């Protein structure tokens, strides 16, 4: 008889982080975080100042993801399979490196 299959799926982008934990086919949403990052429509000095703030937030995306993943109860190792779904290839590579450093696999 096989043991339980334990799978982790992380969907991430600059605005949203979703962590799904599958134990023997049953889905558990471990984390569903979203933050507001948007462009402004108006012009002027206030817009450029706000856009600098947004650019700083975007540059700290990996730190934001790491802080949320390391919260208690989010990750429950060991995992048989870990999948990272991300549109940004650089961010995906950095998340995989972070997860490899945590030794979550069997």
Q: Is the pLDDT of residue 1 over 70?
A: no
Of the pLDDT bands very low, low, confident and very high (cuts 50, 70, 90), residue 60 is very high
3-state SS class at 18:
strand
**Residue 83 lies inside a defined structural domain of this protein:** yes
Structural domain including 56 reads 6-102
For residue 50, the model assigns a pLDDT of 85
User: Do 31 and 20 form a contact (C-beta atoms < 8 A)?
Assistant: no
**Residue 68 lies inside a defined structural domain of this protein:** yes
**Residue 15 lies inside a defined structural domain of this protein:** yes
**90 Cβ neighbours under 8 A, 6+ residues apart:** none
Q: Is the pLDDT of residue 75 over 80?
A: yes
User: Do 95 and 84 form a contact (C-beta atoms < 8 A)?
Assistant: yes
Cis link prior to 78 (omega < 30° from 0)? yes
Q: Is the pLDDT of residue 104 over 70?
A: yes
Please give the tally of structural domains in the chain: 1
**Residue 86 lies inside a defined structural domain of this protein:** yes
**Residue 88 lies inside a defined structural domain of this protein:** yes
Mean pLDDT, residues 55-76: 94
Mean pLDDT, residues 27-44: 86
C-alpha pair distances (Å), 49 with each of 31, 54, 55 = 31, 9, 10
**Residue 1 lies inside a defined structural domain of this protein:** no
């Amino acid at each position: 008889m096989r043991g339980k299959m334990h799978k982790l799926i992380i969907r991430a982008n600059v605005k949203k982080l979703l962590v799904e934990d599958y134990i023997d086919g049953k889905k558990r949403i471990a984390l569903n975080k979203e933050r507001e990052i948007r462009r402004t429509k108006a012009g002027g000095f206030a817009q450029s100042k706000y856009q600098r703030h947004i650019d700083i937030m975007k540059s700290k995306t990996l730190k934001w993801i790491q802080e949320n993943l390391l919260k208690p109860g989010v990750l429950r190792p060991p995992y048989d399979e870990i999948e990272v779904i991300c549109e940004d290839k650089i961010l995906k590579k950095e998340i995989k490196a972070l997860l490899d450093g945590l030794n979550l696999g069997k």
